Amino acid sequence: MIPAPFTYKRASSVDEAVDLVARDGEDAKFLAGGHSLLPLMKLRLAVPQTLVDIGRLGELSYIRDEGDHIAVGAATTHGELASSGLLGRDLPLLAHAAGQVGDPQVRHCGTIGGSLAHADPAADLPAVVLALDATLVARGPAGSREIAAADFFRGLFETALEPGELLTEIRIGKPAAPGWAFQKFTKRAIDWAIVGVAVQGGRVALVNMDQTPVRAVAVESALADGAAPAEAAAHAAAGTSPSEDLNATRAYREHLARVLVRRALEAAQAAG
């Protein structure tokens, strides 16, 4: 299985990357870790004409303490997130969840920016940035703008990024609300989540319970009203619209969401 032919270009700066993609328009794509894009291209489910490699841009790969927030470069790999001392201390949810993505080889290549931009409903980090209420920074030919995580995921594999816009940074406010947990339910360790839950403080986000990652709003409001984890978790599937596949019926996903949310809330309580 081989990708259809395309032209490869390596950008030497963020500006150049944005330029190169703007020049080739519709048929050009950014290539970060390549661990979502290349598998699709090998199966010829994606056939871009041009790839602009941003994977090696040092200016997109960092984890920095900016005082009131932590800034993560979009091309930072899952592995770097997982092993970051700074995140381990201040944002363990992100570090821990990144450590659950795929396998070590995938984590050595795949990036947070790629994961968010790809917006797979079964991916882990999109739900995590929702639970963290992160702010995403995008750069396009017209300059930079900030997008709230809550506004970023628009549909199945669809985000608020305009064509040609590059995700450059993920900002997460400090200090994080106390208590966090991440629950990922899979058949095998290597698998994508059948259902997942990210909790930070009173914010709860779900993996694979809809076309996009979603906040479990009903759970959050129950918590805000003082409900205990088990009570709040009963609302986990409210308002969701999970798909059916080989691994789960809709009813099973809804059930899993309730169980996992309860477990996550209990773990968060214990951690907080």
Partner 1 sequence: MNVTVTVNGSQVEAEVPDRTLLVHFLRDVAGLTATNIGCDTSSCGACTVLLDGRSVKSCTMLAAQADGRSVVTLEGLADGDGELHAVQRAFRAEHGLQCGFCTPGMVMAAVSLLSENPDPSEAEVRTALEGNLCRCTGYHNIVRAVLAAAGERGGR
Partner 2 sequence: MSILGTRVVRTEDPLLLTVGGTYVDDLRVPELAGAARVTFVRSPVAHALITGIDVAAAREAPGVVAVLTVADIDDLPPPPPAPEGEPPPGSEAAPLPMGGPWAEPLLAVDRVRFVGEPVAMVLTDDTYAGEDAAELVSVDYEPLPAVVDLDAAVGGETLLFPAAGTNVAVTAGGPADGSAFDGCDVVVERTIVNQRLAPVSMEGRATAASWADGKLTVWVSTQNAQISRFIFAGAFGLDPAAIRVVAPDVGGAFGAKIGADRDAILVAWAAKHTGRAVRWVETRSENLVGMTHGRAQRQHIKIGGTRDGRILAYRNEVIQDTGAYPRMSGFLPFLTGLMASGPYDIGHVETANRVVVTNTTPISAYRGAGRPEATAAVERAVDLFAAEIGMDPAEVRRINLVPPDKFPYSSGGGAVYDSGEYVKALDQVLTAAGYEELRAEQARRRERGDPLQLGIGLASYVEITAADAAGGETAKVMVHDDGTATVYTGSSAHGQGHHTAWAMLVQGELGIPMERVTVLHGDTDLVPLGTGTYASRSLQLGGTAVHLAAVDVKEQARAVAADLLEASAPDLELDTERGVWQVRGDPASSRTWAEVAAHAGPDGLAADANFTDGQPTFPFGTHLAVVELDTETGKVALIRHVTVDDAGTVLNPLLAEGQRHGGIAQGAAQALLEEMVYDADGNPVTGTLVDYAIVTAAELPSFELLSSETPATSNPLGAKGIGEAGTIGATPAVQNAVVDAVSHLGIRHLDMPATPARVWAAINEATARTATREGQ
Ligand X SMILES: Cc1cc2nc3c(=O)[nH]c(=O)nc-3n(C[C@H](O)[C@H](O)[C@H](O)COP(=O)(O)OP(=O)(O)OC[C@H]3O[C@@H](n4cnc5c(N)ncnc54)[C@H](O)[C@@H]3O)c2cc1C
Interaction site with ligand X (CB under 6 A) = 29-37, 39, 74, 101-102, 106, 109-111, 113-115, 117-118, 123-125, 161, 166-167, 192
Helix, strand or coil for residue 204?
strand
User: Considering the complex, what minimum distance in angstroms separates the CB of residue 189 from partner 2?
Assistant: 4
Q: Which residue has the tokens 């839950």?
A: 197
98-157: contacts with partner 1 (CB under 8 A): 102-106, 108-109
Say if residues 35 and 77 touch (Cβ distance below 8 Å): no
248-267: contacts with partner 2 (CB under 8 A): 248-249, 252, 255-256, 259-260
Among 23, 25, 26, 43, binds partner 1 (CB under 8 A): 43
The residue (of 9 and 255) whose beta carbon lies closer to partner 2 is 255
Backbone region of residue 75 per phi and psi (left: phi > 0; alpha: psi in -120 to 50; beta: other values): alpha
* Residues 42-61, mask of contacts with partner 2 (x by CB under 8 A): -xx-----------------
CA dist., res. 110 & res. 147, Å (int):
22
Residue 113 binds which entry of partner 2, ligand X, partner 1, none, with Cβ cut-offs from 5 to 8 Å by kind? ligand X
Between CA 97 and CA 102, with CA 98 as vertex, the angle to 5 degrees is: 105
**Torsions phi, psi for 15 (to 5 deg):** -60, -45
Residue 166 binds which entry of partner 2, partner 1, ligand X, none, with Cβ cut-offs from 5 to 8 Å by kind? ligand X
CA dist., res. 192 & res. 185, Å (int):
8
Which residue, among 8, 86, 1, 92, has the nearest Cα to 42 in the 3D structure? 1
The residue (of 44 and 89) whose beta carbon lies closer to partner 2 is 44
Asked if 69 is part of the footprint of partner 2 (rule: CB under 8 A), the reply reads: no
Asked if 39 is part of the footprint of partner 1 (rule: CB under 8 A), the reply reads: yes
**Torsions phi, psi for 239 (to 5 deg):** 80, 0
Output the six-digit token pair for 139.
């750069």
CA dist., res. 225 & res. 230, Å (int):
13
User: Considering the complex, what minimum distance in angstroms separates the CB of residue 262 from partner 2?
Assistant: 9
Residues 6+ apart with CB under 8 A from 193: 122, 124, 184, 185, 186, 207, 208
Say if residues 184 and 199 touch (Cβ distance below 8 Å): no
Asked if 188 is part of the footprint of partner 2 (rule: CB under 8 A), the reply reads: yes
Residue 124 binds which entry of partner 1, ligand X, partner 2, none, with Cβ cut-offs from 5 to 8 Å by kind? ligand X
The contact set with partner 2 (CB under 8 A) reads 1-2, 4-5, 43-44, 185, 187-191, 194, 246-249, 252, 255-256, 259-260
The contact set with partner 1 (CB under 8 A) reads 1-8, 10, 31, 34-35, 38-39, 42-43, 51, 53, 55, 79, 83, 102-106, 108-109, 188-190
